Amino acid sequence: MEAVSRYGDWPEHVVVGLVLLGISAWRGSKRWTRIFAAMLIACALAGVSARVVKITTGRSRPNVQTEAGWNGPRLSARYNAFPSGHTAASTAFFATLAFASWRIGLGFLAIPLLIAFSRMSVAAHHLSDVVGAALIGVGVAYFVARRTIP
């Protein structure tokens, strides 16, 4: 679970998205080029949204023993638990694919689920952190898919 948590963040999603975007553009598929571009946009928007909420709320991580709870705006990573950025970005990335092509994308939604469990397993997030992040990710994916994918 530590490896999933370590490699399940936005940089890995961006690399995969850029490779797929390049392949689809090279093959001349306008539809899949739009889908992969939308996935990258959704990943970025969800990551930024989660980061803003995370800094604003100041929720302590499960492994922080003192001052546990909601502490208001904080820049320290120890107080940036809600929501999970890993989960928000991954959910937005793969939910956009599911909104574009549910037959292909539905199976890939297991990846953000695995990432969410890994974040709780390494004591980086509470259950509510990953649930809130998943909601942000799905919301952003829906917003982006409705506006970019025909």
SS3 70: strand
Task: Tell me the mean pLDDT per 10 residues along the chain, length 150.
Answer: 80 94 96 96 95 84 66 67 91 96 93 93 88 96 92
Residue 140, domain extent: 2-148
- CA 92 to chain centroid, in Å, comes to 5
Contact assessment for residue 34 and residue 49, using Cβ atoms and an 8 Å cutoff: no
For the chain, how many structural domains are there in total? 1
